[in-house]
């Protein structure tokens, strides 16, 4: 007990030093370290539709076709039609069809998104192996496969943000709280809610055998 009491003043001094030391480290609390410009450059590979992050460079449809046939067609098909259940990347069919195919031409809103995605994760299994010029060329070829540009088209850093995709205006922000307002606030029926019940469909009666087009997908 007496030993503890004799330590108490020393402890108080120590606590005081710590209390002073914490604010002295500033808002970072001394945690982490500054990111170097070279480090930010190495990782900051994202593009935005407004042109943010667009890297210098260019690539042509013709160059893109050669890369696509060598590195992409095994999965996506020579004409972007998709091999087996791999993604279809070309086609402009309507989005109100049964099982609509969502391609760069039919669904994707922005070319920068195509560039960003291909650069960060394609080819599948060999990500971030393409040069920026190759990604420009592939993006140009994807636009061509979707009948959006001619075969002599060259995509470049100063034009990418200006290329408009057909479905750019096809999206709107989440509106569930207005269009689905009737899902709120209703006290549901508890007794004698309906006269009869019929079974409309059964999982076991429905043929879910997959084919290239018709089977349900997990995305």
Partner 1 sequence: MESDRSHRASRRRFLGGVGAAVALLGSGRRAGAATPDPAITELPDWTRYLGEGVASRPYGRPSEFEAHVVRRNVAWLTASPESSVNFTPLHDLDGTITPNGLCFERHHSGVAEVDPAKHRLMVHGLVERPRVFTVADLKRFPGRANRVYFMECAANSGMEWRGAQLNGCQFTHGMVHNVMYTGVPLKAVLEACGLGPNASWLLAEGADAAAMTRSVPLAKALDDCLLAWAMNGEALRPEQGYPLRLVVPGWEGNMWIKWLRRIEVGDRPWHHREETAKYTDLMADGRARRFTFIMDAKSVVTNPSPQAPLVHKGTNLLSGLAWSGRGRVKRVDVTLDGGRNWRHARLDGPVLPLSLTRFYFPFNWNGRELLIQSRVIDETGYVQPTKQALRQVRGTSSIYHNNGIQTWHVHAGGETENVEIS
The footprint of partner 1 on residues 4-63 (CB under 8 A) is 27-29, 31-35, 39-40, 43-50, 52
Concatenate the DSSP letters of all residues of 56-106 into one string. S-EEEHHHHHHHHHHHTHHHH-TTSS-STTSPP------TTSSS----TTT
Closer to partner 1 by CB, 70 or 120: give it: 120
Closer to partner 1 by CB, 5 or 208: give it: 208
By CB under 8 A, name the one of 70, 74, 85, 151 that touches partner 1: 85
The answer to whether the bond into 8 is cis (omega within 30° of 0) is no
What is the crossing angle of helices 61-71 and 132-145, to 10°? 90
Binding flag, residue 173, partner 1 (CB under 8 A): yes
Q: Which of 67, 44, 42, 56 is nearest to 134 (CA)?
A: 67
Q: How far is the CB of 205 from partner 1 (least distance, A)?
A: 8
* Vertex 138 angle, CA 168 and 134, to 5°: 130
By CB under 8 A, name the one of 100, 147, 151, 158 that touches partner 1: 100
Q: How far is the CB of 1 from partner 1 (least distance, A)?
A: 32
Are 41 and 35 in contact by the 8 Å Cβ rule? The answer is: no
Footprint (CB under 8 A) of partner 1, residues 129-168? none
Q: How far is the CB of 144 from partner 1 (least distance, A)?
A: 19
By CB under 8 A, name the one of 116, 139, 146, 163 that touches partner 1: 116
């Amino acid at each position: 007990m007496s030993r503890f009491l004799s330590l108490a003043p020393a402890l108080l001094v120590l606590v005081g030093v710590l209390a002073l030391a914490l604010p002295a480290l500033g808002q970072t609390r001394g945690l982490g370290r500054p990111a170097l410009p070279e480090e930010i450059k190495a990782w900051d590979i994202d593009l935005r539709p407004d042109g943010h992050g667009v890297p210098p460079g260019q690539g042509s449809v013709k160059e893109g076709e050669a890369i696509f046939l060598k590195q992409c067609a095994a999965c996506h098909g020579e004409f972007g039609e998709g091999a087996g259940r791999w993604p279809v990347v070309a086609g402009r069919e309507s989005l109100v069809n049964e099982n609509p195919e969502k391609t760069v031409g039919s669904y994707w809103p922005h070319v920068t998104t195509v560039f960003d995605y291909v650069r960060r994760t394609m080819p599948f299994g060999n990500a971030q192996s393409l040069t920026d010029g190759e990604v420009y060329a592939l993006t140009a070829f994807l636009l061509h496969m979707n009948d959006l540009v001619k075969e002599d088209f060259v995509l470049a850093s100063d034009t990418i943000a200006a290329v408009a995709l057909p479905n750019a205006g096809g999206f709107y922000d989440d509106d569930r709280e207005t269009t689905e307002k009737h899902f709120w606030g209703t006290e549901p029926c508890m007794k004698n809610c309906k006269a009869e019940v019929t079974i409309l469909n059964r999982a076991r009666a429905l043929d879910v055998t997959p084919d290239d087009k018709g089977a349900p997908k997990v995305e």
